[in-house]
C-alpha cells in the first residue's frame, strides 16, 4: 500500500516510520523549503528499540495517487498543508489525527466521505528533519467507524506495527476522548512550564488541571458525549513524571502558532453556548497567554 503523510512532525514521522518498517511505501508531503532539508529517511530513536533508519520518499506537492492520506499537521497549519495536495490526486482513505474538534469540517469539505476521524496516543517528538524520538513503549490510533470500508486498509496497514489500532464509535466520541486527556495535561504542563512531574510539584496548577478535567467532561456532556473526569484524572496521575506535551514545547520554543486555540476555543465556545462554567480552563489559558 502507498501512504502519504501530511505533516512531518513527531506524530507524522512516527506513523510514517511504523508503516515503512512493515514494508509499506511512504511519502512525506512537505513544503518545498522543508523538503530541501529532508534527508530522505526517517530515523527513529527509541529507548526500547534503539535507533532505526528507514528510507522514505518526499513530495511537494503530492501529485501521485495514494491508498491512505494521513493528516498529522497541527490545526493552525491545516489550511496551508491541504494546498500541498493536488486536487485531482486520487486518495482512498483520509485519516485525520489532529487534536481539537474543528478540523473535520474543512477536511470533509475537501475529501468528502473519505475522511476518517481518528486520534493517536503517542509520545513522539521531532528532534531534527526526518528524526523522531519515541519516548514511550506503546502507541495507539483510534478510528471512528463501525464496519466501514474506509477503515479496512487503515486497520490492515497498522496490523503488526508499533502502533496499535482500535475502532471507536462516532467521530465526536473519538475526538472528545482524546481531548479529555490532552487538554488538561497540555494546559497544565504549559502553565507550569515543565512536564507532568513539575505540575505535580505545583499544587495550584495540579488543582487547576484536575478541575479542568471536570469542566471539559461537563462541556462534552452537552454534546451527548459521556466521559468520566475521575477516570481521566486517575490516568493522568498514573503517567510518568517526564510526560510532556507539544503545546508546552512549542510555547518554550517561541512558536508563532500553537494548538492553544484549536484545543480550547471549541470547548469555551460550547461552554458559553450551554452555560457551563469553565473557570479553571479559562485561568490556565490566561496564564499561558501571559507567558507568550
What strand order describes the sheet that includes 50-55? Answer: 50-55, 41-46, 131-134, 124-128
CATH 3.40.50.1370 for the 173-291 domain, yes or no: no
Per-residue pLDDT, 147: 60
Per-residue pLDDT, 136: 75
CB proximity list for 105: less than 8 A, separation 6 or greater? none
Q: Nearest to residue 155, comparing CAs of 144, 49, 57, 4?
A: 144
Half-sphere exposure of 132 (CA within 13 A, CB side): 26
pLDDT 10s digit of each residue in the chain, 292 long? 999 999 999 999 999 999 999 999 999 999 988 898 999 999 999 876 678 999 999 999 999 999 999 999 999 999 999 999 999 999 999 999 999 999 999 999 999 999 999 999 998 999 999 999 988 777 999 999 866 788 988 999 999 999 999 998 889 999 999 999 999 999 999 999 999 999 999 999 999 999 999 999 999 999 999 999 999 999 999 999 999 999 999 999 999 899 999 999 999 999 999 999 999 999 999 999 998 7
Per-residue pLDDT, 51: 87
- H/E stretch holding 119 reads strand 115-121
Per-residue pLDDT, 60: 94
Cα–Cα dist 80/284, whole Å: 29
Cα–Cα dist 158/162, whole Å: 8
Per-residue pLDDT, 157: 94
The three cell numbers of residue 99 are: 487534536
Decide which of 3.40.50.2300, 3.30.1300.10, 3.40.50.720, 3.40.50.170 is the CATH code for 2-169. 3.40.50.720
Cα–Cα dist 2/16, whole Å: 11
Cα–Cα dist 42/161, whole Å: 15
229-243 burial string, b = 16+ CB within 10 Å, else e? beebbeebeebeeeb
Torsion of CA 35, 41, 46, 51, to 10 degrees: -140
Name the residue ranges covered by the structural domains of the chain: 2-169, 173-291
Amino acid at each position: 500500500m502507498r501512504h502519504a503523510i501530511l505533516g512531518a512532525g513527531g506524530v507524522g514521522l512516527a506513523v510514517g516510520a511504523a508503516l515503512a518498517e512493515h514494508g509499506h511505501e511512504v511519502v512525506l508531503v512537505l513544503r518545498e523549503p522543508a523538503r530541501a532539508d529532508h534527508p530522505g529517511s526517517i530515523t527513529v530513536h527509541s529507548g526500547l528499540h534503539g535507533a532505526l533508519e528507514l528510507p522514505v520518499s518526499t513530495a511537494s506537492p503530492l501529485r501521485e495517487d495514494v491508498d491512505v492520506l494521513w493528516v498529522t499537521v497541527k490545526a493552525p497549519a491545516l489550511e496551508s498543508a491541504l494546498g500541498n495536495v493536488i486536487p485531482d490526486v486520487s486518495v482512498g482513505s483520509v485519516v485525520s489525527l489532529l487534536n481539537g474538534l474543528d478540523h473535520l469540517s474543512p477536511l470533509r469539505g475537501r475529501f468528502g466521505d473519505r475522511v476518517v476521524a481518528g486520534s493517536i496516543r503517542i509520545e513522539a517528538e521531532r528532534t531534527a528533519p526526518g528524526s523522531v524520538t519515541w519516548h514511550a513503549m506503546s502507541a495507539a490510533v483510534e478510528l471512528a467507524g463501525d464496519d466501514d470500508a474506509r477503515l479496512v486498509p487503515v486497520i490492515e496497514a497498522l496490523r503488526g506495527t508499533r502502533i496499535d489500532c482500535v475502532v471507536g464509535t462516532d467521530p465526536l466520541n473519538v475526538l472528545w476522548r482524546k481531548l479529555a486527556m490532552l487538554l488538561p495535561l497540555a494546559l497544565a504542563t504549559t502553565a507550569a512550564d515543565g512536564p507532568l512531574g513539575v505540575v505535580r510539584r505545583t499544587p495550584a496548577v495540579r488543582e487547576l488541571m484536575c478541575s479542568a478535567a471536570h469542566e471539559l467532561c461537563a462541556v462534552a456532556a452537552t454534546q451527548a458525549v459521556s466521559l468520566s473526569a475521575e477516570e481521566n484524572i486517575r490516568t493522568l496521575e498514573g503517567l510518568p513524571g517526564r510526560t510532556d506535551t507539544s503545546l508546552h514545547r512549542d510555547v518554550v520554543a517561541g512558536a508563532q502558532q500553537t494548538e492553544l486555540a484549536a484545543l480550547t476555543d471549541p470547548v469555551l465556545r460550547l461552554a458559553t453556548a450551554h452555560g457551563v462554567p469553565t473557570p479553571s480552563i479559562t485561568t490556565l489559558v490566561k496564564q499561558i497567554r501571559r507567558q507568550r
